[in-house]
């Protein structure tokens, strides 16, 4: 969330400063990584400039990537961030190639996000 706020997307301080207990209350005790998806609009800009964020688990990669592509296309989103636990598979990259014409996609691994948070 902090990265999105730094990029001038509409993110509330409460979303950044959420405690572990508040996170569990919002997302549940046993969070499914694929359930952590959301989109944010750009601050002081048209509502059409949005970013979509998806946390990705490696099981059922092709199905998740197809869902991701469909969400991007149906919401007319121009930017997306995919956060993966491990390195993205070749099949997943093939699905993401469908996005390249319509959407600017960034991919991060969880360990990189953790490093940026601790830096």
pTM of the model: 0.76
Question: Mind listing the pLDDT tens digit for each residue in 32-82?
Answer: 777 788 889 888 766 678 888 888 776 666 666 777 777 777 777 888 888
Residue 111 has pLDDT above 50, yes or no: yes
DSSP designation for 8: T
Query: Which residues are CB-neighbours of 85 under 8 A, at least 6 positions away?
Result: 33, 56, 57, 58, 109, 110
Class of domain 33-118: alpha beta
**In the chain, where are the structural domains located?**
33-118
Task: Kindly state the tokens that stand for 48.
Answer: 């059409």
Residue 11 has pLDDT above 80, yes or no: yes
User: How many residues are there in the chain?
Assistant: 119
């Amino acid at each position: 969330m902090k990265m999105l706020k730094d990029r001038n997307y509409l993110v509330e301080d409460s979303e950044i400063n959420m405690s572990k207990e508040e996170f569990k209350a919002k997302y549940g005790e046993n969070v499914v990584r694929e359930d952590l998806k959301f989109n944010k609009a750009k601050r002081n800009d048209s509502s059409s400039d949005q970013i979509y964020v998806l946390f990705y688990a490696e099981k059922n990669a092709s199905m998740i990537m197809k869902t991701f592509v469909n969400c991007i296309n149906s919401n007319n989103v121009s930017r997306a961030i995919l956060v993966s636990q491990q390195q993205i598979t070749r099949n997943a990259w093939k699905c993401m190639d469908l996005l390249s014409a319509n959407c600017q996609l960034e991919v991060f691994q969880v360990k990189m996000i953790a490093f940026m948070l601790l830096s």
